[in-house]
Amino acid sequence: MARETGMEANRNMKIDTLKARIVRSDYEVDAEAVAEAIVLRLLAARRTTAADLRGADGSGPVEPASAA
Q: What is the mean pLDDT of the chain?
A: 81
Domain tally for the chain? 1
Q: Is the pTM of this model over 0.95?
A: no
| Residue 46: inside a domain | yes
In a domain, 7, yes or no: no
Q: Which residue has the higher pLDDT, 55 or 67?
A: 55
User: What is the maximum alpha-carbon separation in the chain?
Assistant: 64
Question: pLDDT digit string (tens) for 19-30?
Answer: 999 899 998 889
Alpha-carbon distance of 27 to 31, in angstroms, equals: 12
Q: Which sign does the torsion angle of CA 34, 36, 40, 46 carry?
A: positive
pLDDT of residue 41: 93
pLDDT surpassing 80 at residue 57 = no
d(C-alpha 28, C-alpha 24), whole Å:
11
| Residue 34 domain flag | yes
**What is the span of the domain harbouring residue 44?**
29-55
Please give the sequence-ordered ranges of beta strands (E in DSSP) within the chain, or none if there are none: none
66 assigned to some structural domain: no
What's residue 64's pLDDT?
A: 55
pLDDT digits (tens, 9 = 90+) for 32-43: 999 999 999 999
